[in-house]
């Protein structure tokens, strides 16, 4: 099928979106986001092609490609003097693949310059998983290798709290739908406040995605969420653009920003 062909033709590419800590304005890492450089249709976002391959075997091949490519990019940045933590998005179904930890180990071994602790896995779609204990076993095995875990789109799954309790993920990623309306919807703001509280109670880190304005950032800080990612900081960009962005951050719009 077309995605397998695209993989073979090397038409996939990873864009990177920075994550920053508003307490000291440092760049704490970047999220790798897949794009398809389609020969006719141009650069496609995952929404345009990933839903088709969910629960498909190609999804697993794409997932390994993403991990390998992210590690290769970390090597390249490291050679340029940029030591950046990178997170990749992996479907929870992918973890259940019997070879997951072995393949991950192998990919890490192919990139010895990059410490495993600089890789973070964002777990997607936990709501469809029955065997959550098995997912936790994999997380524990990856933790033993030094890899971190985030629960992506946190707050949207119907049983997020059970997952939170049973999965030893390091970070909760507040879904962007809550952030989008937090300035106008008291309910969404309350959810964010609740997630920040949960993160503290369970001793996890918390990050907000979809931060589109400095006003959003200020409001998130007032709720105790200082790690942020979103268009207000930077849009996802090609790997080559990141070092220059990094050198110019924080830019003029953020001059004098204070989290208090």
Binding site for ligand C2E (CB under 6 A): 17, 33-34, 45-47, 50, 63, 66, 89, 91, 122, 124, 152-153, 176, 209-212, 230-231, 236
- Residue 120 interaction partner, one of Mg ion, ligand C2E, none, beta carbon < 5-8 Å per kind: none
How far apart are alpha carbons 127 and 159 in whole angstroms? 7
In the complex, which residue's CB is closest to Mg ion?
122
User: CB of 22 within 8 A of CB of 257?
Assistant: yes
- Residue 210 interaction partner, one of ligand C2E, Mg ion, none, beta carbon < 5-8 Å per kind: ligand C2E
- Residue 45 interaction partner, one of ligand C2E, Mg ion, none, beta carbon < 5-8 Å per kind: ligand C2E
Tokens at 154, concatenated? 């946190």
How far apart are alpha carbons 30 and 26 in whole angstroms? 12
Task: Write down the least CB distance from residue 212 to ligand C2E, Å.
Answer: 4
Task: Write down the least CB distance from residue 252 to Mg ion, Å.
Answer: 28
Q: Which of residues 172-231 bind Mg ion (CB under 5 A)?
A: none
Quick one: residue 79, left, alpha or beta (phi over 0 = left, psi -120 to 50 = alpha)?
alpha
**CB closer to Mg ion, 17 vs 101:** 17
CA distances (Å), 200 to each of 14, 115, 141, 146, 197, in order? 32, 27, 24, 22, 5
DSSP assignment of 24-38, as one string? TTEEEEEEEEEEEEE
Q: Which of residues 84-143 bind Mg ion (CB under 5 A)?
A: 89, 122
69 binds Mg ion, rule: CB under 5 A: no
**CB closer to ligand C2E, 201 vs 234:** 234
User: CB of 175 within 8 A of CB of 208?
Assistant: no
In the complex, which residue's CB is closest to ligand C2E?
230
- Residue 33 interaction partner, one of ligand C2E, Mg ion, none, beta carbon < 5-8 Å per kind: ligand C2E
**Helix (H) or strand (E) segment spanning residue 153:** strand 148-154
Binding site for Mg ion (CB under 5 A): 89, 122, 152-153
């Amino acid at each position: 099928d077309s995605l397998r062909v695209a993989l073979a033709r090397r038409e996939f590419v990873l864009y990177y979106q920075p994550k920053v800590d508003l307490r000291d304005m440092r760049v704490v890492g970047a999220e790798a986001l897949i794009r398809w450089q389609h020969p006719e249709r141009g650069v496609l976002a995952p929404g345009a092609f990933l839903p088709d391959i969910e629960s498909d075997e190609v999804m697993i091949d794409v997932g390994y490609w993403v991990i390998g490519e992210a590690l290769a990019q970390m090597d390249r940045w490291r050679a340029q003097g940029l030591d950046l933590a990178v997170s990749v998005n992996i479907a929870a179904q992918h973890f259940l693949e019997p070879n997951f930890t072995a393949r991950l180990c192998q990919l890490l071994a192919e990139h010895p310059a990059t410490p495993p602790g600089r890789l973070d896995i964002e777990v997607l779609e936990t709501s469809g998983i029955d065997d959550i204990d098995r997912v936790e076993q994999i997380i524990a095995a990856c933790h033993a290798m030094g890899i971190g875990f985030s629960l992506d789109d946190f707050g949207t799954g119907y049983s997020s709290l059970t997952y939170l309790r049973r999965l030893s993920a390091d970070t909760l990623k507040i879904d962007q739908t809550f952030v989008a309306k937090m300035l106008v919807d008291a309910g969404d703001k309350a959810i964010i406040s609740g997630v920040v509280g949960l993160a503290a109670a369970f001793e996890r880190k918390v990050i907000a995605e979809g931060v589109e304005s400095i006003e959003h950032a200020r409001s998130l800080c007032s709720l105790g969420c200082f790690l942020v990612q979103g268009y207000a900081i930077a849009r996802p960009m090609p790997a080559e653009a990141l070092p220059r962005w990094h050198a110019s951050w924080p830019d003029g719009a953020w001059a004098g920003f204070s989290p208090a």
